[in-house]
Amino acid sequence: MDLPAVLRRRPPHHQGLLQHLGAVPPARRTKGDPVIRVLLADDEAMIRAGVRAILAADPGIEVVAEAADGREAVDGVLAHRPDVALLDIRMPRLDGLAAADELRRAAPATGIVMLTTFGEDEYIVRALSGGAGGFLLKSGDPHELIAGVRAVAGGAAYLSPKVAHRVITELRGGRMSQEVRARRRTAALTPRERQVLGLVGAGLSNAEIAQRLHVVEGTVKAYVSAVLTRLEVKNRVQAAIVAYEAGLVEGTGRGTGGEAGAAGAGPDPSGPAARP
């Protein structure tokens, strides 16, 4: 059985891009045009094979590496330095959103495109505020995949039409703007600092955070001080508001279980920012 026939037997939520593998005519490549190098990350081998087949219809796009989880994706990007990283959102070890956030700092020259089944507002906001240049749905047209890769490789942005419609609708209602602003404020924090900020937002004391993270209380004080400085807020209450709006508090979206990372030490909090 050929690959397209196999993929058409996948469950309905995988159909869309993959069910139209034969519908993408070969593209013409102008001599001298640089080939767009792509890393493809998805935890399902059949999905990777299908997406690779779609991209192969464009001679100006080459999949140079594949990954089955987010950690492999980050390592692959650092090793191959592709023009575009095409990431699924839900992957083991490190999800696509966390991988994109890490790559934004470690490999800023690589454009990020999220390719996923999930188009919820939370994922859209996290992806775009985290530095992704494209957001594509697996239920979309295969031409969107090629167009999205080309757009992001060229420094532009690309959203699936359904995603673009939702973003416009939400922005008109003002519901996404508050969270987007909050996420922009927290984008400069390290993963560990965001984790600490989420726990501050949940109302935990320094001692409770230290117990949760298995570190000494002095280390937590340094993290909190660094967070307050970077967010340019005066105290824990203001920091907690930012954490809640950004979805860093458990139960509000992102949660606090992000990838742990090193944070720069700062002086112990004092004045209104201090909490025993």
Three-state DSSP class for residue 87: strand
Helix or strand run (H / E) with residue 38: strand 36-41
112-133 mean pLDDT:
79
The rounded distance, in Å, linking the Cα atoms of 275 and 239 is: 13
Work out the pLDDT band at 138, boundaries 50, 70, 90. Answer: confident
Q: Are residues 119 and 166 in the same domain?
A: yes
Which pLDDT value is given to residue 68? 97
Of 139, 172, 205, the last residue of a domain is 172
Q: Are residues 186 and 248 in the same domain?
A: yes
What is the maximum span of the chain, computed from C-alpha positions, in angstroms? 70
The letter for the amino acid at 204 is: L
pLDDT in tens, 183-225: 888 888 999 999 999 999 888 888 889 999 999 999 999 999 9
Which pLDDT value is given to residue 257? 41
Which pLDDT value is given to residue 249? 84
In percent, how much of the chain has pLDDT > 70?
A: 73
pLDDT above 60 (res 9): no
Q: Are residues 27 and 153 in the same domain?
A: yes
**Helices then strands, each counted (H, E), the chain:** 12, 6
The rounded distance, in Å, linking the Cα atoms of 129 and 126 is: 5
Q: Are residues 83 and 218 in the same domain?
A: no
CATH number of the domain within which 253 lies:
1.10.10.10
Helix 177-186 × helix 236-245 angle, to 10°: 120
The sign of the torsion formed by the CA atoms of 25, 111, 243, 201 equals positive
pLDDT above 70 (res 142): yes
The domain containing residue 253 runs over which residues? 178-273
pLDDT in tens, 37-59: 999 999 999 999 999 999 999 99
The rounded distance, in Å, linking the Cα atoms of 187 and 181 is: 10
21-28 mean pLDDT:
50
Q: Are residues 15 and 142 in the same domain?
A: yes
- 191: which DSSP letter? H
Q: Are residues 123 and 146 in the same domain?
A: yes
- Total domains present in the chain: 2
Q: Are residues 146 and 230 in the same domain?
A: no
Three-state DSSP class for residue 23: helix
Q: Are residues 17 and 141 in the same domain?
A: yes
Q: Are residues 196 and 119 in the same domain?
A: no
Work out the pLDDT band at 30, boundaries 50, 70, 90. Answer: low
Of 138, 172, 206, the last residue of a domain is 172
81-108 mean pLDDT:
93
Which pLDDT value is given to residue 69? 96
Measured from the Cβ of residue 185, the count of other Cβ atoms closer than 10 Å reads 17
Greater model confidence, 267 or 150: 150
pLDDT in tens, 228-273: 999 988 778 788 888 888 888 875 444 444 433 333 333 333 333 3
pLDDT in tens, 153-192: 988 888 888 888 777 776 666 655 667 777 888 888 999 9
In percent, how much of the chain has pLDDT > 90?
A: 42
CATH number of the domain within which 58 lies:
3.40.50.2300
Which pLDDT value is given to residue 259? 36
Which pLDDT value is given to residue 122? 72
Residues 6+ apart with CB under 8 A from 32: none
Which pLDDT value is given to residue 177? 62
Three-state DSSP class for residue 115: strand
- 262: which DSSP letter? -
Contact present, 216 and 259 (Cβ < 8 Å): no
Which pLDDT value is given to residue 269? 37
87-110 mean pLDDT:
92
